[in-house]
Amino acid sequence: MTRSLPTSVALAAGFILLGVSSACKKPEAVQQPPSPPLQQSQPQKEIDAKAAADRLAAETARRQQEELEARQRAEQAKALELSQQQALRRSAAEALKDIHFDYDKSEIKAEDKGQLQKISEFMKAYPTANVEIQGHCDERGTNEYNLALGNLRASTTMRFLVALGTPERRFTLLSYGKEKPLCTEGNEACWSRNRRAHFELK
């Protein structure tokens, strides 16, 4: 019962539609302008109309298929890009680790050269990645002095990376001075954490 009811409704609707269209055709035929001299026969006309409708349907289907494929391609590309981005971010998180400085100094320490090597390899593996190098200082000294020192640390770090083969244009420098400490205790353990160059993917 539940299935047959819609079917009968649809049939009824179709019948009504047929009735309406045939009722409409008569006045159309009457109102047609005088036929051209080389008038096609009525059956030929119907064949052409059907062919046109078929072509239209095929065209529509093709277009829909194309759109679907384009969408799929875009989604695939997006997924790929996402996975590439994820990979980039994963690699960045692994490679872009802070390096540290001695008090009031900006020289690269021997123990951090391996770390900068890793960053250099990361920059080569991801040639479109750009990195901001931030220079930070501990809380001692004035803001003015530490802004200058942070800038020097960021710049020294960049020059080391440029020497390892990454073009300078892929880096931007920013000095935070002592404005963004990782910790605020007044002892050497905390100060040495804050005297750093931090790398941020841009």
Partner 1 sequence: MTCAELDTQISKALASLPKSPSRARSRHSILLAALMALVPVVVQAQDQAPPELPKKRSWITIPMTTQSGMAGSLAQNFWRILQNDLATTGPFKITQQKVNTEIPIESDLVLATQLVRGLMNPFMILVRVQDPRTHKELYQRFYKGSPALIRRMAHRIADDFTEKATGVRGAAESQLVFEQETRKGVKEIFKVGLDGKELTQLTHHQSLSTSPTLARDGRLAYITYKGGPPEIWGQRQPSGPQVKLFPTGAENPGILLSPAWSPIGNKLAFVMSTQHGRCDVMLLDLDRNRVDQLTTTGRLNTEPSWDPTGTRLAFTSDREGTSQIYVMQADGTSQQRVTSSPTPSSTPLWSPDGMRIAYISQSGARSDVYVFDLKTGSHAQVTRGGGRSLWPSWSPDGRWIAFTRSISGNSQLMVSDLLGRFTRPLEFMAQAGTLQWCQSH
Q: Which residues bind partner 1 (CB under 8 A)?
A: 103-104, 106, 139-145, 147-149, 151-156, 159, 173, 175, 184, 186-187
Q: Cβ closer to partner 1: 74 or 183?
A: 183
**Least distance (Å) between residue 167 CB and partner 1:** 16
Q: Cβ closer to partner 1: 74 or 163?
A: 163
Q: Cβ closer to partner 1: 126 or 138?
A: 138
**Least distance (Å) between residue 102 CB and partner 1:** 11
Encoded tokens for 36: 């051209």
Residue 197 CB: number of other CB atoms within 10 A?
27
Q: Cβ closer to partner 1: 155 or 192?
A: 155
**Least distance (Å) between residue 136 CB and partner 1:** 14
Residue 93 CB: number of other CB atoms within 10 A?
10
Q: Cβ closer to partner 1: 92 or 173?
A: 173
**Least distance (Å) between residue 169 CB and partner 1:** 15
Rounded to a whole number of angstroms, the distance between the first and last alpha carbons of the chain is: 65
**Least distance (Å) between residue 140 CB and partner 1:** 5
